[in-house]
Structure 1
Amino acid sequence: MGELQCILYKDNSHYIDEVKERWQGFCQKVQFLGVWKKLLKPPMGMDKVEQAVRILHVLPSLFPSTSAPPKRIGDASEAVVHVLGEKEDPNAYLKKRPLSCPVLIVSSSNCLLAVGDLPITTFPKDEVTEGALYLMAYYYALHLTYPKCVATLLSVIQTEVLLDEIHEQDLTPSYKKCMADWKAFVGQ
């Protein structure tokens, strides 16, 4: 996150805290949008970790790209987050994963951020709410290109949460439509 701050707003010593606050607000609005579109159930009875994982899973459906994900991953959310099964090995999952982009892997005890098939960072599961921010930080720090199947979603996070402008050539029709729908939903 410190590297992200240096890249985007090196003179703002409060940037990381501001991003985390914007992310929380964004997730709250996304949760309402997801319930409204019947993609999420109301969060009653769910702990914060479960809510965060469900939000991460539904984000690509709420901000869809026109490109389909690779057939071997099935759902576009797998380009962002994967919840390990009880006996699933994270290294085995990474070896068979067809994408080399950063991914957040959630296990029963912790979270792992990997790029390609290389595990990079582990952190406590109760910090999964910030996992997408860590993911974005890796895109910036490693100068990675967004995968087409989640490019719209990551561009929305880039502009709405990180407050980083998007390049003119990245203003795709799907991004423009998602942003118009989002702005209409949040009343801006």
Structure 2
Amino acid sequence: MKKAMKPPKTLNGVEHAAAVFRALPLLFPSSTMPPRKLGANSEALFHVLTTSEDPDGFLHQRPLSCPVVVVSEDNCMIAIGSTPVATFDSERFHEGLLYLMAYYYALHLTYPKCISTLLSVLQTEILQDSIHEGDSTPSYKKAIGEWKSFIE
């Protein structure tokens, strides 16, 4: 865990946050694989647009309809499905995961299975909000046990 959470020090703020966000689903893996079109589990959380990518085109071809942070050179956008709902400065990208959690809460959305363990751990350990015992999966119980032994 320590190695995955220590990206190179030469990264700028956005690159550093992206490296951490890419590592989080690996630290708290879910038992379900992401859709093939999605690629990595971290793509369920955020996507960094290339210079040739159109944000609207990306959102329409995305296989999941869960909230996502789309990062461009100028700003970040939170979209749900193919609908943009908020924008914020890319320098605040490190706060993007909390913004996503806020949309899950406010809209009572279900976590995608491919990142449900990560989001459940964030909910219980960062936001200090309990989850119903019926919602705790074996992968969540394993991840939370490993997390508790790591922080002790």
TM bracket (short chain): over 0.9
Q: Displacement of 1:47 after TM fit?
A: 2.0
Q: Partners of 2:41 and 2:18 in 1: how far apart?
A: 14
Quickly say closer, same or farther: Cα 1:170–1:60, change in 2 above 3 A.
same
| More helix as a share of residues | 1
Structure 2 segments unaligned to the other structure (5+ residues): none
Q: Output the amino acid matched with 2:103.
A: Y
Aligned to 1:148, which of 113, 136, 143?
A: 113
Structure 1 SS opposite 2:88: strand
After the TM superposition, which parts of structure 1 deviate over 6 Å for at least 4 consecutive aligned residues?
none
The residue that corresponds to 1:14 in the other structure is none
Q: How many residues align?
A: 152
Q: CA-atom RMSD, angstroms?
A: 1.2
The residue that corresponds to 1:56 in the other structure is 21
Q: Partners of 1:44 and 1:101 in 2: how far apart?
A: 31
Q: Partners of 2:145 and 2:37 in 1: how far apart?
A: 31
The residue that corresponds to 2:92 in the other structure is 127
Q: Partners of 1:134 and 1:101 in 2: how far apart?
A: 13
Q: Output the amino acid matched with 1:63.
A: F
Answer yes or no: is 1:170 the counterpart of 2:131. Answer: no
Q: Partners of 1:144 and 1:42 in 2: how far apart?
A: 31
The residue that corresponds to 1:8 in the other structure is none
Q: Is the Cα–Cα contact under 8 Å of residues 7 and 16 in structure 2 kept in the other structure? A: no
Q: Is the Cα–Cα contact under 8 Å of residues 34 and 62 in structure 1 kept in the other structure? A: no
Q: Displacement of 1:41 after TM fit?
A: 5.3
Q: Is the Cα–Cα contact under 8 Å of residues 33 and 41 in structure 2 kept in the other structure? A: yes
Q: Partners of 1:77 and 1:158 in 2: how far apart?
A: 17
Residues 18-167 of structure 1: pairs in structure 2 closer than 5 A: 33-35=1-3, 39=4, 42-167=7-132
Q: Partners of 2:2 and 2:52 in 1: how far apart?
A: 30
Q: Partners of 2:6 and 2:24 in 1: how far apart?
A: 14
Identity of aligned residues (%): 55
Q: Partners of 1:34 and 1:139 in 2: how far apart?
A: 28
Structure 1 segments unaligned to the other structure (5+ residues): 1-32
Q: Output the amino acid matched with 1:69.
A: P
Q: TM-score, normalised by structure 1?
A: 0.78
Q: Is the Cα–Cα contact under 8 Å of residues 30 and 115 in structure 2 kept in the other structure? A: yes
Tell me which moved more, 140-149 or 53-62. 53-62
Q: Displacement of 1:40 after TM fit?
A: 5.6
Q: Is the Cα–Cα contact under 8 Å of residues 60 and 76 in structure 1 kept in the other structure? A: yes
Q: Is the Cα–Cα contact under 8 Å of residues 7 and 19 in structure 2 kept in the other structure? A: no
Quickly say closer, same or farther: Cα 1:88–1:174, change in 2 above 3 A.
same
